[in-house]
Chain A
Amino acid sequence: MALAGHDIGFQLQGAVIVTAALVTLGALFSIRSQPEATAEELTYYYDAPIKAGIYLSLIWAMLGMFVGVWVALLLAYPELTFDYAWASLGRLRPVHTSGVIFGFGGNALIATSFHVVQRTSRTRLPDQLSPWFVLLGFNLFCLVAATGYLLGITQSKEYAEPEWYADIWLVIVWVTYLVLYLRTLARRQEPHIYVANWYYLAFILVVAVLHIINNLAVPVSFLGSKSYSLFSGVQDAMTQWWYGHNAVAFFLTSGFLGMLYYYLPKRAERPIYSYRMSIISFWGITFMYMWAGSHHLHYTALPQWVQTLGVTFSVMLLVPSWGSAGNALMTLNGAWHRVRDDATLRFMMVAAVFYGISTFEGSFMAIRPVNSLSHYTDWTIGHVHAGVLGWVAFIVFGTFYSLVPWIWHRERMYSLILIEVHFWLAIAGTIIYLIAMWNAGITQGIMWRTYNESGTLTYSFLESFVAMHPYYVARAFGGFLFLVGAALAFYNIVMTVRHVPLARNVTNDASVGPLSVPTGEATA
């Protein structure tokens, strides 16, 4: 690829892949050449890839959020492109979105899924090679994707920008992931599969299906980066938003609900409030989300009947969504004093609240008249960030602050004060961001549709984006606060690993012992 590629971009991508592959191979080789785990070691969980996943997730968080703040500033100060093609908004934006969704979120999901599936199945991962292949292979995908965007290599499909070769590679990695997950479940020493695993499993399975179908394409040449999507026009639009909306559902929701269902009850030391509610919510989400994508295409050339189905299911989705959010919050009933004192648990509580808020907002925005105003505006961006900052990032940080001392066997996190500071920075950043974007979006929407008495449009397009300037500045500031908070988390975690003494009695979290998550129903 590096040598034979037809275009310079493809050659550079080849160089990235060759370098990364060599490093990965070296790493895999050293893992292979390590002595087989001894019988004694086999009674312990395999945590090394989890630790690596946490670090990778944090590195991508820094990168993705930094680019996010940069992109936000570009909308207020367009000169910050400095006349470099790679630094223009259109190329940087997907680096931000892929960096945070796949890099930060994806690594967090992979790492925690390895942790949760071992603990709840009371078994060790079946081998030592495939978890590393999954983790490093996934990061290679992210790296090829991000460097490709900077070079202008993109399919333009939202949240599925990487070109055909990266897509094929991800399929290989993902199938390995699925097989690994199923093999681990097959070795479990518990009759039941714990609810968190249902969500992780749905995340792995459905993302595979979505990814394959949405990315069907014909490459111009096997030695070039460019491909043409198999679908066009209205069919492509529907396929892309079927994918796009369910990337939200199964990547950004299902996976992270899996996280919530394990770490929140564990941290709160309370069993899940209602097992039945979790069953209904799970199947409700799995069934209904798939219908909702067409609400991204209201009033467009998509046939009316598809739009109608989209609204109907989008509104009904509120039921299972609030079921999950409610279930999480009711689990905290009786532990509110801990929420008050423990910033880590508070991260999780806020995540559940924002999950409830953003799913409500989503259903609301799917309604046609609301959508006629909100679509194409910054309100959409605000809505997404209510989900990804308030829900996804909060649950990840809450989880990491719990998980890091457990798997590194430390007494506690390095600094509880820094967690507290992070919490308030993150809250402030999120709220500033959301208020700025709500205002921006609604203002835009209204300006675009306001008429004079004489029956002509009152505002030019120019006036509408000039009015955005203060909001864009505020949004960048909110994002910056969030980034600083994430940097504190990174620092705190590194310092925990390096400086906090080992816990005196290694917790039952380390060895394949009795099930360590509270189960059963609170309301017997």
Chain B
Amino acid sequence: MIFTLHNKIERNSIVLALGIIAVSAIGGLVEIAPLFTIDDTVEHAPDMRVYTPLELAGRNIYIREGCYACHSQMIRTLKDEVDRYGPYSRAVESQYDHPMLWGSKRTGPDLARIGEKYSDLWHTRHLVNPRDVVPQSIMPAYSWLLENELNTTDLRGNLKAMSRVGVPYEDSMINLANRDAVAQATPSSDDVAGLIARYGPATSVRVFDGDSQRVTEMDAVVAYLQILGRLTEIAHSEQSVQTDTNDNTIKAEGS
């Protein structure tokens, strides 16, 4: 009888503690461990590229300011979401996101496919004061992004740490991270060719914040926003948008 057994357990604090650990461990083990081993958990996307140092810096500012509290980056396999935001998100698209920023609340719209949807100027004006471009907006103004010079001195260390957790940054990318960040926002720089060689011809090299004299935090954030959804083309090429009219969901392959 389990209650007699329990009578014994509840007389011994160590047995009780071990019991709690054992019973609670099962769920996590069964659900999490296989995600690291089952192969098709994450699709293979040969064209998937890593963030440039400038984009990574922008991503870190996105985290610092808590943009994820209002914006998701995960389009679900529901018809209305695909119609509103674009192809649904694939696991591989956040493969290099340490941590992921899928979000849990949409006070503002999803940003998973915001890349190149608006101009750099639009983003800059919007971030300086959202109400200048969208009068009813309830998004905070981030005017300091345009004032703050971007701190590039630490980017090398940042790329190094990212490579330690498994992101395939090559040594040259790590060593030249600080210069690459400046180059990406300074089209006239001599370092641009090297940047393109390392990160690919699709890398956008522009004066993101409209001020060619300085590299600001705004440059970084806008560079990051403009790459969202564009690290790989997989979501656009392979998506089968067949709707199940019954429940408004889209059948993701393999499900």
Show the binding face of A for B, using Cβ within 8 Å: 6-7, 74-76, 78, 81, 83, 85, 88-91, 93-94, 149, 152-158, 182, 185-186, 191-193, 198, 201-202, 205-206, 209, 213, 217-221, 224, 226-240, 242, 276, 279, 283, 286-294, 296-304, 306, 309-310, 313, 369, 372, 375-378, 380-381, 444, 448-449, 451, 456-457, 461-462, 465-466
Contact = CB atoms under 8 A, between A and B. Distances in A.
Given A287-B26, A300-B89, A376-B104, A191 B67 contact: no
A309 B27 CA distance: 9
Given A182-B14, A301-B91, A228 B105 contact: no
Given A89-B69, A89-B140, A226-B60, A221 B157 contact: yes
Given A235-B35, A236-B97, A313 B144 contact: no
A466 B138 CA distance: 9
A134 to B, nearest CB: 17
B197 interface: no
Contacts of B93: 233, 301
Contacts of B164: 218, 228
11 contacts: A155-B99, A156-B66, A185-B13, A192-B11, A220-B160, A228-B161, A232-B99, A233-B97, A236-B97, A299-B78, A456-B83
A461 B70 CA distance: 13
A257 B31 CA distance: 26
A193 B28 contact: no
Contacts of B100: 232-234, 236-237, 240
Given A290-B27, A303-B41, 10 more contacts: A75-B107, A90-B140, A209-B21, A233-B100, A236-B94, A279-B3, A298-B76, A309-B31, A310-B31, A372-B78
Interface of B: 2-3, 6-7, 10-11, 13-14, 16-17, 20-21, 23-28, 30-32, 35-36, 38, 40-42, 60, 63-70, 72, 74, 76-78, 80-81, 83-84, 88-109, 130-131, 134, 136-144, 151, 154, 157-158, 160-162, 164-167, 247-249, 252, 254-255
A229 B99 contact: yes
Nearest to A94: B66
Contacts of A293: 31
A229 B255 contact: no
Given A193-B13, A205-B21, A156 B99 contact: yes
A292 to B, nearest CB: 8
Contacts of A156: 63, 66, 68, 99, 101
A301 to B, nearest CB: 4
B36 A182 contact: no
Given A220-B157, A287-B26, A299 B96 contact: no
B137 to A, nearest CB: 7
A75 B17 contact: no
Contacts of A235: 32, 35-36, 41
A154 B99 CA distance: 11
Contacts of A224: 154, 157
Contact of B80 (A88, A233, A449): A449
Given A224-B154, A457-B84, A276 B3 contact: yes
Contacts of B140: 74, 78, 81, 88-90
Contact of B151 (A7, A193, A279, A291): A7
Contact of A236 (B70, B89, B99, B103): B99
A93 B69 contact: yes
B69 A300 contact: no
B24 A449 contact: no
A304 B31 CA distance: 11
A233 B69 contact: no
B31 A191 contact: no
Contacts of A291: 27, 30-31
A506 to B, nearest CB: 30
B27 A288 contact: yes
B20 A201 contact: yes
Given A90-B66, A218-B165, A372-B249, A300 B76 contact: yes
A291 B74 CA distance: 22
Chain A, interface SS category:
helix
Nearest to B94: A233
Nearest to A287: B23
B65 A152 contact: yes
Contacts of B249: 299, 372
A228 B67 CA distance: 18
Contacts of B10: 192-193, 198
Given A89-B66, A205-B21, A299-B249, A238 B31 contact: yes
B32 A313 contact: no
Given A83-B143, A232-B165, A299-B249, A239 B32 contact: yes
A458 to B, nearest CB: 10
B76 A296 contact: no
A198 B15 CA distance: 11
Contact of A301 (B25, B74, B144): B74
B26 A290 contact: yes
Contacts of A221: 154, 157
B76 A299 contact: yes
Contacts of B84: 448, 457, 461
Nearest to A74: B140
Contacts of A206: 20-21, 24
B35 A303 contact: yes
A1 to B, nearest CB: 16
Nearest to A472: B138
B104 A158 contact: yes
A50 B41 CA distance: 48
A376 B105 contact: yes
A205 B31 contact: no
Given A7-B151, A283-B23, A372-B248, A301 B66 contact: no
Contacts of B38: 303
A85 B144 contact: yes
B225 to A, nearest CB: 15
A74 B165 CA distance: 37
Contact of A191 (B11, B88, B134): B11
A465 B138 contact: yes
B110 to A, nearest CB: 8
B15 to A, nearest CB: 10
A229 B167 CA distance: 12
